Structure 1
Amino acid sequence: MQTQLADFIRNTPDGEEADAILRKCVHCGFCTATCPTYQLLGDELDGPRGRIYLIKQMVEGAAVTRSTQLHLDRCLTCRSCETTCPSGVQYGRLVEIGRQHVEAAVSRPLRQQLLRRLLATVLPNSAVFTPAMRLGQLVRPFLPRRVRDKIPARQRMLEWPTKETPTRVKLHAGAGADADSPAQTRRMLMLAGCVQPAMLPNINIATARVLHALGIETVIEPEAGCCGAIRLHLGYRDEALDDVRRNIDAWWPHVEAGIEAIVINASGCGATVKEYGHLLRGDPAYAEKARRITGLTRDIAEVLSGFEAELAGLARRRGVHTVAFHPPCTLQHGQQIRGTVEHLLTTLGVETRLPADSHLCCGSAGTYSVTQPVMSYTLRDRKLRNLEALEPQMVVSANVGCIAHLQSGTSMPVAHWVELVEHLIYG
């Protein structure tokens, strides 16, 4: 696809990246077949190819309208189109550039402005979000259904592992360690997240307990916060980059001390942290640090896939033998991690079934269920029908947003797959 960049974006980092991405697109339309919004609406402009044309027109200087903004708003940023694309078009990066410039060109209705500002202010700020979530859980039975759907019931929290908690497997630190030397504690840094500790705290605790069983200490840096995804996808790019820099500053002493990895159990956060090197590529003070952080970041599935034999030796069949797995878009399309969770759970004696539409989004997509509720709930209900048709004992996923979204529409248990692994080990 040939482009002629307009003066306002020519010779800028966004312009150069948009131009390179657009030139890869060959108009084939394969992406439309796996786009959830195109499937629902049947409008070319609500599919990846149509949105690419809109962004092309924008960077070439065409007038940007409220209609352009609406079509970009409807995009889930699920990146299923990237997995399908034979030309390697990095649509996710392109749509973020498009949204950034549309936000600067088109004024939103006041109600939308207030809602988006509220989301960008409250959700990434755990000091505000946590007490708000606690209050919501307290009065949850009395709330309207639409509000109640956003507030998971409060969990009975597991215990965080301590030095007194038995370590189930003794592992030597590092390849090539002397087999006769005493086992050393391995240490990994974990991103707690901004909403997850308040909404579904057992995901983090279960992660720490599973790693502890393998002889790995989990460290959480309290100065780290939101990964930046919420503000980035809402169009508050500068604030999102501040989130990124804050996390890098908080983690850097641990990196210098030789932390083994940064493990993340929310695939949406993982997909964003793995982009830190790209997001700060033009920042001379942070570019190299950001690349280092990206290189250290691992989804919990990537970490545990190296311990299948040890986990199989620890796991005990405790009543759960069949699950349906919903792979989040940020795991399978954003991070390109496919089959890892399924293989691991199967190794542990759990039959893991995928729905026919496993490649499609459940409609959660960060704040999408708030900003585009009709589309979001339509996708959720379709996803749940396909998951329940598998007749599992429970549904497991790998991202807090997907889990909370699916929980709101079914009586079937929905949990993070690492919580199931913890249950298999500890009971």
Structure 2
Amino acid sequence: MQTFFTPDQLADPINAKANKILRTCVHCGLCQATCPTFQVQGDELDSPRGRIYLIKEMLEKGRPADARTVKHLDRCLGCLSCTSTCPSGVDYAHLIELGRAHVEATYRRPLGERLLRGILLRVLPYPTRFRLALFGAGLVRPLARFLPGRLKGMVALAPRRLPALSRAEDPQTYSVAAPKMRVALMTGCAQKALDPEINEATIRLLTRLGAEVVIPKNIACCGALPLHMGAEGRAKALAEAQVRAVMAEHAAKPLDALVITTSGCGTTVKDYGQLLGTEAAAKVAGLARDVSEVVAALGLPQGKGGLRVAYHAACSLQHGQKIKTLPKELLQKAGFEVVEPVDAHLCCGSAGTYNLLQPEISAELRRRKVETLMAKAPQVIAAGNLGCMVQIGQGAGVPVVHTVSLLDWATGGPLPKGLAP
């Protein structure tokens, strides 16, 4: 793609980075075939190529974002399916981040939108606040039909019963007799409030396989949710705090890995070197591993799962981290019959806060995803990302369980709560 940044503009590192990415695009349009929003909307500007043009025009002219540009950038899921398709290696992930950061810096959203986004930024990354919000959603559920559209959707996504707080996620060390490796577990933010069983299953499984598991002090939100919303400053502050927490544990006694059970978080943490540009951040990024990678490295024994499992490949795992087959292979080794839906590369519509901010498109993507999953007649659906689990669980007629919970159960752990009669 030809660009027309001036030398003065290219002196700005942001424009220089954008220019480098833009010039790799060859306008081929192959990305449109795998873009979920283009498939739903049928609008060129709701495809990666269209959004690339919008970002190029906005940055080249050095102008503030306008409502038209914001609408189409906001509709991007950030699923990165386009990056798996692109023959030219366009770094769309970082380009859309630059575009969204420019939007937040130059565009004043309507009051209602500012309030909604402000609430999400101040609630979702903080487990205690999030639990209180979920409790409040339960109280207003009987009145949900009187709420505005997006608030109604938020109430619908909230669980009808909150899980009990888990003390397993408190800072501590889970020792084993002859450790094969020493790992830190990133406990997450929304996950601690919505499904602490995932971390509990991870601790059981990893220690059973011979890993010493450490829950670091002050481990918190990785910054993925604010980054997805274009709040780069807030995302960096959370990421820096995460880096400090992990490096403090690593300095006390070296870690072999930082285990992450929510793939959306994993994609962000593995990119900390780019996001923060520090040696410590790059070190943490190098330690970051999806839980499936660590389980495979430790060696999973044969299990006795027995169920027919439809595997949902989270976009952040298959496109963001390029982990495409490993979770399925582990489930098969654990004794499960694994089936995969058609169009497995397409997003379910969760995408961080997307299902809260773009409920109509999100609902249509969920409908399509659930339809393809249920066409495989599964007894359970497995996924490696909490957001996907919540999203798909709204429409699926079978339990939706984290992959690690199934692996834990098949190799000696308790039955996942979602499978209980």
> Which shows bigger deviation, 205-214 or 404-413?
404-413
**TM-score normalised according to structure 1 size:** 0.89
CA RMSD of aligned residues (A): 2.3
Alignment match, 1:198: 193
2:261 match:
265
The answer for unaligned runs of 5 or more in structure 1 is: 171-181, 282-286
For the residue of structure 2 that corresponds to 1:311, the secondary structure is coil
From 367, 378, 385, give the equivalent of 2:364. Answer: 378
Contact kept, 8 Å, 2:198 with 2:405, in 1: the verdict is yes
SS of residue paired to 2:293:
helix
In 1, Cα distance between equivalents of 2:8 and 2:132: 44
**Inter-CA distance 385–247: structure 2 relative to 1 (3 Å threshold):** same
Measure how far apart 1:189 and its partner are: 0.5
- 1:157·1:202 contact (CA, 8 Å) conserved in 2? no
Give percent identity, aligned residues only.
43
Which residue does the alignment assign to 2:178? 183
Q: What is the Cα deviation at residue 154 of structure 1? A: 3.2
1:24 paired residue number: 24
Look up the equivalent residue of 2:331 and give its one-letter code.
Answer: L
State which drifts further: 215-224 or 80-89: 215-224
Q: Verify the 8 A CA contact 2:304 2:336 in the aligned structure 1.
A: no
The count of aligned residue pairs is 401
Q: Distance in 2 between matches of 1:223 and 1:159?
A: 15
In structure 2, what residue type is equivalent to 1:305? A
Query: What is the alpha-carbon distance in structure 1 between the residues aligned to residue 209 and residue 95 of structure 2?
Result: 40
Counterpart Cα distance in 2 of 1:142 and 1:418: 36
How far is the alpha carbon of 1:357 from its aligned partner? 1.1
- Structure 2 residue 144 is the aligned partner of structure 1 residue 154: no
Q: Is the 8 A contact 2:169 2:215 kept in 1?
A: no
The match for 1:92 is 93
1:141 Cα deviation from its structure 2 partner: 7.0
Residue 302, structure 1, aligned to residue 293, structure 2 = yes
Letter matched to residue 402 of structure 1: C
Letter in 1 for 2:30: F
Deviations 1:87-146 (A, max 9, x none): 000101101101111222222111111111111111112231123334545776775563
Task: Give CA-to-partner distance per residue, 1:171-226, whole Å, 9 cap, x none.
Answer: xxxxxxxxxxx724742101111110110110111111111111223222241211
Q: Given the alignment of the two structures, is residue 333 of structure 1 paired with residue 319 of structure 2, yes or no?
A: yes
> Counterpart of 2:54 in 1: which secondary structure?
helix
CA–CA separation in structure 1 for the residues paired with 2:155 and 2:268: 28
What is the identity, as a one-letter code, of the residue corresponding to 1:293?
A: V
Q: CA deviation at 1:160?
A: 4.3
Name segments (4+ residues, structure 1) moved above 6 Å.
156-159
Residues 1:277 and 1:403: Cα distance change in structure 2 (over 3 Å):
same
1:140–1:220 CA distance, 2 compared to 1 (3 A): farther
Aligned counterparts, 1:74-85, within 5 A: 74-85=75-86
Question: Distance in 2 between the 1:103 and 1:394 partners?
Answer: 40
8 Å CA contact retained: 1:6, 1:61: no
Q: 207-216 or 391-400: which moved more?
A: 207-216
SS of match in other structure, 1:298: strand
Is the alpha carbon distance of 1:347 and 1:59 closer, same or farther for their aligned partners in structure 2, counting shifts above 3 Å? same
From the superposition, tell whether residues 342 and 126 of structure 1 become closer, same or farther in structure 2 (CA, over 3 Å): same
AA at the equivalent of 1:146: G
Residues 267-276 or 245-254, more deviating: 245-254
Give 1:49's aligned residue.
Answer: 49
Change (3 A) 1:213 1:349: same
* Cα distance in 1 for residues equivalent to 2:219 and 2:326: 28
CA distance in 2, matches of 1:217, 1:137: 38
1:426 aligns to 2:413 (yes or no): yes
Task: Give the secondary-structure state (helix, strand or coil) at the position aligned to 1:390.
Answer: coil
Q: CA deviation at 1:151?
A: 1.4
Q: Which residue of 1 aligns with 2:237?
A: 242
- Mapped contact 1:277–1:291 kept (Cα < 8 A): yes
Structure 2, unpaired ranges of 5+:
146-151, 415-421
Q: Measure, in 2, the Cα distance between the counterparts of 1:161 and 1:48.
A: 39
**Equivalent residue in structure 1 for 2:388, among 402, 406, 424:** 402
Classify 1:8/1:331 alpha carbon distance in 2 versus 1 (closer, same or farther; 3 Å): farther
Residue of structure 2 in register with 1:174 after alignment: none
Distance 1:29 1:297 in 2: 33
Separation (CA, whole Å) in 2 of partners of 1:410 and 1:362: 12
